[in-house]
Amino acid sequence: MKHIGIELEERKVKQRLVTCNERTGSRVLDLSRLNLVKVPSDVGSLRSLRTLSLRSNKLEVLPSQLWRDLPDLEKLDLSLNRISSVPPEIFSLEKINRLVLSGNRLTFLPDEIGRATSMIELFIDHNNLHELPTSISELGSLRVLSVAFNRISEIPSSFKQLRDLNIVDLEGNKISFAPEEIKRLHNIHQLRNSKQKRKELISRALKIRTAKSIQCQRELEARAVAEADARDKDA
């Protein structure tokens, strides 16, 4: 049965690779929700790839060499996997401008994150991060930053150098210190969202999260229930 499942997943990967080649000119590849435990080696042959989604799989380890083979990659979605560390090579991608790492098992980010100077949107919410590297302050093009639902207690003062930043989500942390510029952005973001949801939230204190953060939490909860059911069946 397990062998049949693996064959089915391999067929789906091949089908999506064909779609990538025929419909998008090898520029957009969606490998989400395939129960992948590793990134298919064929991905490295798509030198023109711009967008790659590996969302909602079972990835624990990311290859290092792969990212050297994808020089044009701009958008990368690795959310809802089991990744505990990010290869520094990802941050050497010269064109990467959107990186989604939500809903993984990250406990740290490498200092090399500061190399990704084209980064515009960075989502690292719903992980186990205790701190953020000061090198993030080198991402001069960053406009959107979500660090919601981690274990962060302090935002480095160097973050005030992120002058293009206009959306920050700090929800679900225990932050004792953050530069005033970052606090102000976070409060503005809460205010924007509270206006949209005022009717449904009028009777309780506002705790606003981005739509992506809410979706991520729901999928994490669904995954936890499914894994618990699987364990009960095995028992």
The secondary structure of 159-228 as a DSSP string is: GGG-TT--EEE-TTS--SB--HHHHHHHHHHHHHHHHHTHHHHTTS------HHHHHHHHHHHHHHHHHH
Instruction: Classify strands 75-77 and 98-100 as parallel, antiparallel or unpaired.
Output: parallel
Report pLDDT for 110: 96
In this structure, are residues 91 and 67 in contact, taking their beta carbons and an 8 Å threshold?
Answer: no
Asked whether the predicted pLDDT for residue 232 surpasses 70, the reply is no
Dist. CA 131–CA 116, nearest whole Å: 19
Split into its structural domains, the chain has a count of 1
Residue 207 half-sphere exposure toward CB, CA atoms < 13 A: 9
Least confident of 81-85, 150-154, 155-159, 228-232: 228-232
Report pLDDT for 230: 67
Report pLDDT for 205: 38
Q: 155 is in which domain, residue-wise?
A: 2-234
Average per-residue pLDDT in the chain? 86
Q: What is the SS3 assignment for 63?
A: coil
In this structure, are residues 70 and 26 in contact, taking their beta carbons and an 8 Å threshold?
Answer: no
3-state helix, strand, coil in the chain (%, to 5): 40, 10, 50
Report pLDDT for 6: 66
Asked whether the predicted pLDDT for residue 158 surpasses 50, the reply is yes
Tens-place pLDDT, residues 47-86: 999 999 999 999 999 999 999 999 999 999 999 999 999 9
Q: Residue 152: which CATH number?
A: 3.80.10.10
Report pLDDT for 127: 97
Asked whether the predicted pLDDT for residue 208 surpasses 50, the reply is no
Asked whether the predicted pLDDT for residue 210 surpasses 70, the reply is no
Of the candidates 18, 8, 103, the residue with the CA atom closest to the CA atom of residue 56: 103
Asked whether the predicted pLDDT for residue 207 surpasses 50, the reply is no
